[in-house]
Amino acid sequence: MTTLTVQIRRKGVITLPMELRRQYSLDEGDVLTMLDLGDGSLLLVPRVSQVARLGDEVAHLMGEAGVELETVLETLDQEREAYYREHYAQA
């Protein structure tokens, strides 16, 4: 475990040291959850974007099934066109 010192700046801003941002692939705009452990200790936990997590899961499932991205995009285009014709096109 590494001990680092950070300072609370104007408006409560805390800068995470570069080594930690690199080690954990943290970038500007990433969301962290702060847990108050009740004894004055605070725990920061990176929160993984649900979109990124689901995208990774879909990519993994596509790889397992041997489905290529181009096939998925073509199928989506076909479904979108069929939906448009069914719901919006004039008879």
Which residues of the chain fall short of a pLDDT of 50?
none
| pLDDT the model gives residue 54 | 85
pLDDT tens column, 60-81: 999 999 999 899 999 999 999 9
| pLDDT the model gives residue 51 | 81
Domain boundaries, the chain: 10-46, 50-87
> CATH code for 10-46?
2.10.260
CA distances to 16, 17, 30, 71 from 6, in Å: 7, 8, 18, 49
